[in-house]
Structure 1
């Protein structure tokens, strides 16, 4: 029997402050599919402000549980756009 490496802890992925001064941010593209495993620092989405493309990175090891916002939608700094189910820390 295999153990589920994921915990019940769900972390919200938020739009970071990109120095946009309350200008809309476009969620251009998701780079990771729901239920895919992610590692901290991995690029998970592309955000566009004016003509500058930013890559949003995961802050956690775990699994991208679901999108809260689809690609092609305008969002604001601090908006919740996805959920990550955090991977359990290994016990030694």
Structure 2
């Protein structure tokens, strides 16, 4: 089941947030914690990290789109962690 890439809660910050740019593309593999999308607030940029290891399957919010905490930015198909590693 795909895992959403979600805008994290920024506490009490109530500023305009926009998608600045995607650091990955659909079809690319990512590792949990990789930077996948950059968000922009007036005067500040920050990166949203991949919530899991897998393949980016959709980038739903394009650059310039306004977002808020909880907005789904895209989706990752998680890697099958049940497969044994080679050489095991």
Matched-pair contact (CA < 8 Å) for 1:22–1:77: no
Q: TM-score, normalization: structure 2?
A: 0.86
Q: Which residue of 2 aligns with 1:5?
A: none
Q: Which residue of 1 aligns with 2:47?
A: 55
Gaps spanning 5+ residues in structure 2: where?
none
Q: TM-score, normalization: structure 1?
A: 0.83
Q: Which residue of 1 aligns with 2:70?
A: 78
Equivalent residue for 1:16, pick from 4, 8, 19? 8
What's the offset of the Cα at 1:20?
A: 5.3
2:15 counterpart of 1:30: no
Moved over 4 A (4+): none
Matched-pair contact (CA < 8 Å) for 2:22–2:63: yes
Q: Identify the structure with the greater strand proportion.
A: 1
CA RMSD of aligned residues (A): 1.4
